[in-house]
């Protein structure tokens, strides 16, 4: 579960179902960017809590299983040491990770959201809050990238939107210097230290849960001019995983209860609205030869890495 469908589907209109406020003049088919993203997330959370209750009541004892939830979050560095920018980075985390994690641990949305969104933010009943609190045995985290955050006080526009509610400007650069090397996806800059910061923050803020890194990875463009040997030589991905796993280990050494790590992804996939134009996999899929699979150099690296541990 993440804010991707809530925001891109109902605030920005860039992914299905493509809804947003018409005044934003984006490519969308109608909607209300000031309310619909919050309603979608609200019902996602309630559906999750109901599913967990059903599982625990009917199946957990017989299956001896556990049930969790996966959340997606970037890490946000303050653009400067100014207090306003530090607070902006925290608000960005509230509106991405805390939007989901806070109800699961405290039964309500973050204070910053309640203050800035006001009556447009749905409210939980006492019964719903009770159902939400602790409705996971483990927390999954998807992490890919980091951004700089700076304070952006709300202007006097009569229009409201999720996109401006949190009063933060995000940038992948500071003084013209990128926060990290760029992946193929526009939103992805490589920032390995961010995974450690996110894990330590989650440990402190959300009562030290058991965590699985359920997605972590970097993509490259699908280049049909490359030979197969060239396409399999993904040394940049090995560097990406090597550095991120270093910071995961450092987080474990500092008390974070990380129990597993899953690279995104085993196979090159159909990636949202990028389709087959980018490749995230550690295994190359040949789209022109009956989807034949070829392990990339990163797959062999993972095999060697796992043998050591």
Q: Measure the CA–CA gap between 195 and 182, rounded to whole angstroms.
A: 16
Percent of the chain with pLDDT over 90: 92
Residue 4 lies in a domain: no
Q: Could you report the per-residue pLDDT of 40-52, keeping only the tens digit for each?
A: 999 999 999 999 9
Q: Could you report the per-residue pLDDT of 251-294, keeping only the tens digit for each?
A: 999 999 999 999 999 999 999 989 999 999 999 999 999 999 99
What CATH number did the domain enclosing 153 receive?
Answer: 3.20.20.80
Which pLDDT value is given to residue 266? 97
- Please name every residue paired with 151 in a beta bridge, in sequence order, or none if there are none: 168
Which pLDDT value is given to residue 29? 85
Q: Does the structure show a pLDDT above 90 at 96?
A: yes
Q: Measure the CA–CA gap between 70 and 216, rounded to whole angstroms.
A: 12
Residue 9 lies in a domain: no
Q: Does the structure show a pLDDT above 70 at 33?
A: yes
Average pLDDT over residues 97-102: 98
pTM of the model: 0.95
Range of the domain at 225: 32-307
Residue 12 lies in a domain: no
Residue 1 lies in a domain: no
Residue 65 lies in a domain: yes
Phi, psi dihedrals of residue 306, rounded to the nearest 5° = -70, -30
Kindly report whether the peptide bond that precedes residue 265 is cis, defined as omega within 30 degrees of 0: yes
Contact status, residue 142 vs residue 215, Cβ threshold 8 Å:
yes
Give the number of C-alpha atoms closer than 13 A to the C-alpha of residue 99, restricted to the C-beta side.
32
Q: Does the structure show a pLDDT above 80 at 157?
A: no
Which pLDDT value is given to residue 156? 63
Quote the number of domains for the chain. Answer: 1
Residue 27 lies in a domain: no
Which pLDDT value is given to residue 309? 74
Which pLDDT value is given to residue 308? 83
Residue 196 confidence class, pLDDT cut points 50, 70, 90: very high
Residue 163 lies in a domain: yes
Residue 1 confidence class, pLDDT cut points 50, 70, 90: low
Contact status, residue 265 vs residue 296, Cβ threshold 8 Å:
no
Residues with Cβ within 8 Å of 58's Cβ and at least 6 positions away in sequence, in order, are none
Which pLDDT value is given to residue 27? 87
Q: Does the structure show a pLDDT above 80 at 84?
A: yes
Residue 212 lies in a domain: yes
């Amino acid at each position: 579960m993440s804010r991707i469908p809530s925001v891109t589907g109902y605030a920005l209109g860039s992914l299905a179902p493509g809804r947003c406020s018409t005044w934003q003049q984006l490519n969308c088919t109608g909607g209300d960017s000031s309310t619909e993203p919050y309603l979608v997330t609200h019902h996602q959370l309630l559906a999750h809590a109901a599913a967990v209750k059903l599982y625990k009541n009917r199946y957990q004892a017989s299956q001896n299983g556990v049930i969790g939830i996966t959340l997606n979050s970037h890490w946000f560095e303050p653009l400067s040491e100014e207090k306003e920018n530090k607070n902006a980075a925290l608000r960005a985390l509230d509106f991405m990770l805390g939007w989901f994690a806070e109800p699961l641990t405290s039964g309500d949305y973050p204070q910053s959201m309640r203050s800035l969104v006001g009556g447009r933010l749905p409210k939980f009943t006492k019964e719903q809050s009770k159902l939400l609190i602790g409705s996971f045995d483990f927390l999954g985290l998807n992490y890919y990238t980091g951004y700089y955050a700076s304070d952006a006080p709300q202007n006097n526009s009569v229009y409201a939107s999720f996109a401006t509610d949190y009063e933060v400007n995000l940038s992948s650069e500071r003084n013209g210097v990128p926060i990290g090397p760029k992946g193929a996806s526009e939103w992805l800059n490589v920032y390995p230290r961010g995974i450690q910061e996110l894990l330590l923050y989650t440990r402190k803020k959300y009562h030290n849960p058991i965590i699985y890194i359920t997605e972590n990875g970097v993509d490259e463009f699908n280049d049909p001019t490359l030979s197969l040997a060239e396409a399999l030589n993904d040394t940049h991905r090995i560097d990406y995983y090597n550095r991120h796993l270093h910071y995961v280990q450092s987080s474990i050494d500092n008390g974070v209860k990380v129990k597993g790590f899953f690279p995104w992804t085993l196979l090159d996939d159909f990636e949202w609205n990028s389709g087959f134009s980018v490749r995230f996999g550690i295994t190359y899929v040949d789209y022109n030869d009956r989807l034949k699979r070829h392990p990339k150099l990163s797959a062999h690296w993972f095999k060697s890495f796992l043998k050591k541990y």
